[in-house]
Amino acid sequence: MKIVITYGTFDLFHVGHIRLLKRLSLLGDKLIVGLSSDEFNAGKGKKSFFSYKERAEILESCKYVTEVFAEHNWQQKRNDIIKYQADVFAMGDDWEGKFDDLNDICEVIYLPRTEDVSTTEIKSALSKVNAEELDRIESTLHNVIDIVKSLSK
């Protein structure tokens, strides 16, 4: 049995995640995912929209994922590969070269990311929508204030 292991935050689960997990699952018989804990994310300066527990539940419901476990630090990958007897360590190509030191215990593969979709871009777009909406509300509020002032003269 060929075991594949990967890691990530998997926040705001989207089609890019699905496509990556599908491609990762095709590399072996089992796909095991190390999911960044909330504490680990905080140490990286990241805040997930969904909690670790919620993100784990989402991942566990994905048909391509066999098992999910918590990632607490950068250093645990080597021990996890040994513990889960992983044959392949795979990540998105935005991490290319960063984990080549694991080649001595398993095959390291970097897969292309799904173009035009990322959690960072989704969060950015959502924050712009919120800012635009706030600007619209503020403009409307100023118009209402002007009307009220004109009526009270």
Report H helices in 6-118.
Answer: 15-25, 38-43, 52-60, 77-83
The answer to whether 123 is a known catalytic residue is: no
The answer to whether 98 is a known catalytic residue is: no
The one catalytic residue among 2, 22, 30, 46: 46
The one catalytic residue among 2, 22, 44, 47: 44
Please, what is the end-to-end C-alpha distance for the chain in angstroms? Answer: 82
Q: What does the radius of gyration of the chain's CA atoms come to, in whole angstroms?
A: 22
**110 and 90 in contact (C-beta within 8 Å)?**
yes
Q: Which residues are catalytic?
A: 44, 46
